[in-house]
Structure formats: structure tokens, C-alpha cells
Amino acid sequence: MSKNQTDTTILTLAGIQTGQHFRIKTVHGQGEIRQRLIDLGFIKNEVGSVIREALLKDPIEVEIKGTRVSLRRSEARMIDAEVCK
């Protein structure tokens, strides 16, 4: 976790709880994985929500841009986001 100038907590997408809404801040990584995440709608300032997580906590299901996407936790850790109030 880190804090930016407006005192907002930035988490990775893997750290956001089920039912919470989030706003994308940065997509890390490189190559095909990063590009695929961007193609799916994980772009700066896009808002989404965590719908649910699997029984063993991996993968998680998120909704972004009207589409539900399942992500492995390792992929979700590449995405920095803030929780929307």
C-alpha cells in the first residue's frame, strides 16, 4: 500500500475486497500480458468492481467496462488501483 498526494490509498487489484469499486491507476508488466490487460479495459481512470473470488481465492472476477473478467491474482497484482468511496 502507498499514499499519493491526495491521501488516497493505492492497492493492487488483488488487494481490493469483494464488492468494492475501484479506479485503475497504473498497469505494470510488459509485453503481451500488459497489452492484453489494456485491451480488456484496464486503463487509467477506468472504474470497475470486484464481483467475487474463487473458493481458494484465485482467480478473482471483476467487472470493468460492462464486461466480467476473471484474473489470476498474479495478473491482478500488476494493476494498481484505488478504492472508490
- Where are the extended beta strands (E) located within the chain? 2-3, 9-12, 21-27, 47-53, 60-64, 67-71, 79-83
What SS3 class is residue 70?
strand
Q: Indicate the residue type of 28.
A: H
pLDDT in tens, 4-62: 455 578 899 999 999 999 999 999 989 999 999 999 999 999 999 999 999 888 999 99
Q: pTM for the whole thing?
A: 0.84
Give the C-alpha separation, 56 to 37, whole Å: 23
Spelled out in words, what is the top-level CATH class assigned to the domain 2-83?
mainly beta
Give the C-alpha separation, 58 to 8, whole Å: 26
Between residues 65 and 2, the one the model is more confident about: 65
Give the C-alpha separation, 49 to 20, whole Å: 6
Predicted confidence at residue 6, as pLDDT, reads 54
Give the C-alpha separation, 79 to 41, whole Å: 12
